[in-house]
Amino acid sequence: MLETIEQSNGWLNGYVWGTPMLILLMGTGVVLTVLTRAVQFRYLGFALKEVLGKLT
C-alpha cells in the first residue's frame, strides 16, 4: 500500500514540477508584469540607488 502511494506521489511530482509548473510560473510573471505596467523595470534605478546609497 505504501509503495503504491510513493509511486503515485513520485509520478505526480514529476508531472507537476515539470513543464506545467514552468508554464504556470512564466505565465504568472508575464501577467503580473503587464498588470503592474512593468514596475520591476521602471523603478529598478530608484531601488538600486536606495540600496547602494545606504551601503556607503
Q: Count of domains in the chain?
A: 1
What is the predicted pLDDT for the residue at 56? 65
Domain range holding 8?
2-55
Helix (H, G, I), strand (E, B) or coil at 14: helix
SS3 1: coil
Would you state the pLDDT for residue 15?
A: 86
**Residues in the chain with pLDDT values less than 50:** none
CA distance 49 to 55: 10
SS3 20: helix
Read off the pTM: 0.67
Asked if residues 40 and 33 have their Cβ atoms less than 8 Å apart, the reply is yes
Cell of 21: 509548473
